[in-house]
Structure 1
Amino acid sequence: MPEPTTPRLAELRRQFGARLRDLRQGHGLSQEQLGEMAEVDRKTINRIENGMYSPHLDKVFQIADALSVPPRDLFEWDGASSRT
């Protein structure tokens, strides 16, 4: 996947990935375990967590379901609601 076109997109991807990592670790799951539960490749989970991949909405729903959280929880981090 090509690099984000703006620094803002790169930062949002990074923050989304960090939030996913926090939720995954909070559930005591490895990337591989979450991937299996969400029917998403472990490498995809890794790329999302590292801000290198922007998942499609269907994948966001699958990951949220696997973590038993509402999808919006994946988008809640400090400063997520502020627009610069």
Structure 2
Amino acid sequence: MPTPIPPRLAELRRQFGLRLRDVREGRGLSQERLGELAEVDRKTINRIENGMYSPRLDNVFQIADALDITVKELFDVPATPRNA
């Protein structure tokens, strides 16, 4: 059974996933198509967007490239309080 992650990390994953979804949908891409472009499985895209998976750094680079944005732009999520 996986070890639960701290609430702050769960929130950051959720925010990252929402950002990824917003950018992907803004580009008119399905999860399947983004996966193809980024050479990442569609299920992985889904898990990232739902905050259930923390992507490898290599995947983040591939996804940013596929979306034609910088990695920094992909991480442009709202700030969360440290004690959350």
TM-score, L = length of structure 1: 0.90
What is the one-letter code of the residue matched to 1:10? A
CA gap of 1:20–1:3, structure 2 versus 1, over 3 A, is farther
4+ long deviations beyond 4 Å: none
Gaps of 5+ in 2: none
- State the 1:28 CA deviation: 0.3
Which residue number corresponds to residue 16 of structure 1? 16
- State the 1:36 CA deviation: 0.2
Partners of 2:64 and 2:71 within 8 A in 1:
yes
**Percent identity, aligned pairs only?**
71
Alignment of 1:11-50 (within 5 A): 11-50=11-50
Matched positions, count: 83
Gaps of 5+ in 1: none
Aligned partners of 1:28, 1:37: CA distance in 2, in Å? 13
- State the 1:3 CA deviation: 5.1
TM-score, L = length of structure 2: 0.90
RMSD of aligned alpha carbons: 1.7
What is the one-letter code of the residue matched to 1:48? I
Aligned partners of 2:14, 2:28: CA distance in 1, in Å? 21
Q: Larger relative CO (CA 8 A, sep 6+): 1 or 2? A: 2
Aligned partners of 2:55, 2:36: CA distance in 1, in Å? 16
Which residue number corresponds to residue 59 of structure 1? 59
SS in 2 for 1:51: coil
- State the 1:77 CA deviation: 1.8
